[in-house]
Amino acid sequence: MNKTVQSLQRRLIALGYPLPKFGADGDPGGETIAAVGKALDELQTLRALSEPLFPAGTSSSTVATARQALGVGGVIPSDWMPAAKMERIICHWTAGANKASEFDRGHYHILIEDDGKLIRGIPSIKLNEAPAKKGYAAHTLGANSGSIGVSLCCMGGANEAPFDPGKYPMTRAQWDALTSVVADLCRRYSIPVTDRTVLSHAEVQNNLGIQQRGKWDFTRLAFDPSVKGAKACGDKLRAEAKAKL
Ligand SMILES: [Zn+2]
């Protein structure tokens, strides 16, 4: 039994972290450590919400990286999102490896690697403003004008039926980063979350009436096999992105 630990535990209890199993027993066990972690998380969130954390002149990518680490605010550096009139966001996978290649970067505005890291594509979002300009991101047949293309780096060599995610399955970290990216883009470009404005490539044919060539990104989520079909995957994407708005 340690007096310092006990006084910390009493303080935690007073702050509303109840330590239900052991109370202020003076023993620094898992329950106390978890309560301290929770208190620190809440403090960080509070600070990020209540004071400017970054000195004037801090680059937007530094701010975005720090905010991403803290789990607050936007994840996309603001200089990746130039002023433009954009109508929708189409989400893809690259059908490549789990890191962004130069080829991948040529076809999308934002890529997400297996650990959730964001990589900027080569074309600017502005080039896809309708009507699309030379050098635009060609990500969706007949639907590139007005569309932002986001892609998860995964699913190279995958097979739809029977389902086999191959060597580079989609990860939960990628998916969670995707829903944050979609929320940021919706905020920045005032895009409503509907099945015609936030959708996966696999939904384009049905929801926009524009024929595609057998695209199945996304009809299966490798990290959650219970979700099946383009609509189920799309509904999950929209619900989770909406929750982050
Ligand atoms: Zn696609």
pLDDT in 10s for each residue of the chain, 245 residues: 888 888 878 887 877 778 888 888 888 788 877 777 777 767 666 655 545 566 777 766 666 666 656 655 688 998 999 999 999 999 999 999 999 999 999 999 999 999 999 999 999 999 999 999 999 999 999 999 999 999 999 999 999 999 999 999 999 999 999 999 999 999 999 999 999 999 999 999 999 999 999 999 999 999 999 999 999 999 999 999 999 88
Residue 68 belongs to a domain = no
Ligand 1 mean position, distance from CA 77 (Å):
23
Provide the domain limits for residue 7.
Answer: 3-51
Q: What is the dihedral of CA 47, 50, 51, 52, to 10 degrees?
A: 100
According to DSSP, the β-strands at 110-112 and 118-120 are antiparallel
CA 84 to ligand 1 centroid distance, Å:
22
Domain assignment of residue 57, yes or no: no
Three-state helix/strand/coil letters over 16-57: CCCCCCCCCCCCCCHHHHHHHHHHHHHHHHHHHHHCCCCCCC
Residue 180 shares a structural domain with residue 221: yes
Domain count, the chain: 2
CA 128 – ligand 1 centroid, Å: 16
Same domain, 36 and 155: no
Residue 146 counted as domain residue:
yes
Distance 220 CA to ligand 1 centre (A): 13
Radius of gyration of the chain from Cα atoms? 22
233 in a structural domain: yes
User: Hey, which residues does 159 pair with through a beta bridge?
Assistant: 164
99 lies in the same domain as 15: no
Residue 70 lies in a domain: no
Ion ligand 1, residues whose Cβ is below 5 A away: 92, 201, 217
Beta-carbon contacts of residue 134 (< 8 Å; ≥ 6 apart): 127
CATH number of the domain at 97, please: 3.40.80.10
Residue 56 lies in a domain: no
Ligand 1 midpoint to CA 83 (Å):
25
- Of 11, 36, 51, which one is at a domain's C-terminal end? 51
Q: How far is ligand 1, taken at its centre, from the CA of residue 119, in Å?
A: 17
Is residue 63 in a domain? no
CA of 155 to the centre of ligand 1 (A): 11
Is the pTM higher than 0.75? The answer reads no
Question: 62 in a domain, yes or no?
Answer: no
User: Using CA atoms, how far apart are residues 49 and 134, in angstroms rounded to an integer?
Assistant: 40
